[in-house]
Amino acid sequence: MLKRITISDHAASRYSVRVDPLLSPEQARAFLENHASEASILKQRTVLGDEQWLLKRSHPCVLVLKRDKGTGSIPVVVTVFPAFPSEIEDEEQQRAAQEVVSSRLHGARHGRPRRRRCF
């Protein structure tokens, strides 16, 4: 459960574009600040290792969080994706969200091959 959190301008903007187009970015920020504490963490992290949290509301979405590992500061929501990309009306935004979901499922970095560890 998230107690203290910061919402980035980008995340508020992405929420209003990708998840709930009826909200302005300011309304989206207020919504996320009020309801982020209800989100539950997902086991799967992003390709870059950032946490993902599922917010189950009228418009389910995934919050991507970054934390400063050195200071243990307040986590920041850096972007937001709909839990179900097929609900996005704009085709370009839908394609971008689908790529993220696909990379989450397959672990690929947008067409780049996975890095291999040498032992």
14 exposure class (CB count in 10 Å sphere: 0-12, 13-18, 19+):
buried
The DSSP letter of residue 109 is B
What's the confidence (pLDDT) of residue 100? 61
Asked if residue 110 has pLDDT above 50, the reply is no
Q: Which pTM was predicted? A: 0.68
Average the pLDDT over each of 15-24, 56-65, 68-77, 96-105 and give the range with the smallest value: 96-105
Does the pLDDT value for residue 92 go beyond 80?
Answer: no
pLDDT at 1: 59
Name the amino acid, one letter, at 87.
Answer: E
3-state secondary structure of 29: helix
In angstroms, the CA 15 to CA 80 distance is 6
